[in-house]
Every structure is written in C-alpha cells, then in structure tokens.
Amino acid sequence: MSFFIASSPHAHSRKRTPDLMKGVAICALPGLVAQTYFFGWGTLLQLSLALVVGLLLEAGVMLLRKRAPAAALRDYSALVTAWLLAIAIPPYSPWWIVVIGLIFAIVIAKHLYGGLGQNPFNPAMVAYVVLLISFPVEMTSWITPQSVSNESVSFADAFSLIFTGFDIDGYSLQQIRTGIDGITMATPLDAFKTGIKNGNTISEVFQQPIFGGLAGIGWEWVNLAYLVGGLALLKLRVIQWHIPLAMLASLTVVSGFFALVMPGQTGSPVMHLLSGATMLGAFFIATDPVSASTTVKGRLIFGAFIGVMVFIIRTWGGFPDGVAFAVLLANMCVPLIDYYTKPRTYGH
C-alpha cells in the first residue's frame, strides 16, 4: 500500500463539487416555483437564458485559458451562478441584463481571479451590484404579484417583453406596471421605505395593496419557499448551519431592537425576515464555500455581520434591499475574520 501526503486544506466530506452544486440547484426549486407563481413566466425565461449564456461563457473562457472546458462545465458552478443571478433580477428585465451580468460574474468575478475556488467575492452578487448601479431602472422594475394584479402576463407576453421590450399588444413594461390599479412600487421594502420617508405611519404604509400579509403579498411566500429549500440544504449537509443562523438571528435582534427604540420608523423583524432576498441570501448566497469564512467562529461572525448590514442598508441606505451589498462587504472582511478566528495550533 502507498501512503499519500497531501497539502491542506483537507475536506472531511466525500461529496464532490458537482454533487454540492446540483444539491444547491435542486433545493432552490421551491423558491423558483413560488417566484414563477407570483411573478409570472419571466422568471423561467430569465433562468433558461441565464443557464445557456452562463455555460457558453464558462466554456469560452476555459478555451481562452487553454484548458478543457468539459471539466469546468461538469462541476456545475457556472450553472449555480447563472441560476442565482436569474432569480435575483426582475423577471421582465431586458435580455441583455442577464448577458452583461453573467459576463461580470463568470469572466471578471470568477475567472479573472483564477477560476473556481480562487474568487474572493460571490460572482452572482458582484454581477447583481454592477447591474443595480449601472441600470437602476431595469433592475428595480418588479411587477405587482399576479395574485394582486387584475391583469396577467402570458408566456407570449413575457417572451416578447424580455426580448423586444414590448408585449404582443405593443405595451412596454413601464406601461404595464403603471396600468395595474396604480400599484407601481418595486417591492414591499421599497414601498415601506418610501412611505416612512413621506411621513406616513406604519399602519398607513401597510394599508397599501401590496401589503396584504405579513411582509408583502408574494414575497413572504417566496421567502418561506427558500427557507424550505435552505432547510433541505442543511438536511443534506450541503451547507452548515452557522452562517444562516447567525445572519437571521442578528437581523432579527437588530430589527427588533430598533423597532422598540424607534417605533414607527423601522420594519418589524417579521417584515425583514420575509421580505426581499433574506432567505435566499441566508441559505443560498452567503453560504458560498469559496467566498465565505472558513472557521467555525468566523462563519458565525460572517453571518452576523451580514444580518446587521442588511438592516442598516435597508433602513438608512439608498437601496431598498441590502443583501447583495452586505454579502460583498462581508467577503471583503473574510481574510481579517479568518486571521483572528483560526483554531489554535495543536500543542499550543
């Protein structure tokens, strides 16, 4: 028998990267179904386009790097990156939003740093932030959930909106958004922040039609669906519990504290937990094994930092949601977090 001595880090799991990536995609299916139900066919069309473009970009970059593209495609990392970006953008964004976003995600945020395992930032969140800053109108054009709307967007309309900018009747996305009972707010978080800044009380803000439940019609069910998928990830041991629990706990504690000391000015913990990309961020984005902290204590600090930053950005920042920005800020802190939380050397 031969004895191998390999350099660290040493993995304790027998699961391969393709298995982990496929597990992430499968567990994201409940959230995908919920998004499609509430926001229409555009979600599936964006996902289909993103998967094709993502795989083509991955193969093209590998060829430019003079490496075999088949090996990179088989690890499904490009698939997961494309998936996360597709479900993060508004469902009826123009087709070029996905293309530009994936160029930044795969070519710049991933392969410019050396490829899978070398990127310091989450590629999908880099792409999302670049798109949000560069194209704010397109990236905030969420339509009213179909359960509230008097009109529904058919598959043909969705296809036409994404690839031509108009539905089959010649109406643009902005015309469709403003023609539905006057409900034009991008998301419940945006509606809440705008209402508070305009001097309305929380009760007055929640009288808007988009707030029909705990945290906004449609959005609360989407978050619950991603929570189910996240629990499945934990059950399958695809991710560990430290980052999601720390992020959700810190967001709950901070939002609850400020709801007590600043009543009427900040959202409740329930609203923060079930609005925006909270559950998607906690279980599917922040847990990226490459760009997250690697130590046990570090993962707890990493997740808690994200939760606090999400609340700060949502409450006082210039954007309604802050998950993407919070994750990237935490990614910047990973070297420092890991340095001060690394385990003591055996024997010391």
Write the pLDDT tens digit of every residue in 151-183: 678 899 999 999 998 888 888 888 777 754 445
Last residue of a domain, one of 185, 211, 241: 185
Do 109 and 80 lie in one domain? The reply is yes
Indicate whether 347 belongs to any domain.
Answer: no
What is the arithmetic mean of pLDDT over 191-211?
Answer: 78
Do 122 and 65 lie in one domain? The reply is yes
Tell me the HSE value of 227 on the side-chain side, using a 13 A CA sphere.
13
The token pair at 259 is 């709801």
Do 55 and 110 lie in one domain? The reply is yes
Between 56 and 344, the more confident residue is 56
Do 245 and 149 lie in one domain? The reply is no
* DSSP-derived secondary structure for 292-344: S--SHHHHHHHHHHHHHHHHHHHHHSSSS--HHHHHHHHHHHHHHHHHHHPPP
Do 26 and 131 lie in one domain? The reply is yes
Residue 215 has pLDDT above 60, yes or no: yes
- What pLDDT score does 181 carry? 47
Do 258 and 279 lie in one domain? The reply is yes
Domain ranges, residue 144: 16-185
Please tell me the total count of domains within the chain.
2
Q: How far apart are CA 278 and CA 284, in angstroms?
A: 10
Do 193 and 91 lie in one domain? The reply is no
- What pLDDT score does 18 carry? 83
Last residue of a domain, one of 137, 166, 185: 185
Residue 239 has pLDDT above 90, yes or no: yes
Percent of the chain with pLDDT over 70: 90
Indicate whether 298 belongs to any domain.
Answer: yes
- What pLDDT score does 170 carry? 84
Do 220 and 251 lie in one domain? The reply is yes
What are 89-128's pLDDT values in tens digits?
999 999 999 999 999 999 999 999 988 888 999 999 999 9
pTM for this entry: 0.89
Do 90 and 147 lie in one domain? The reply is yes
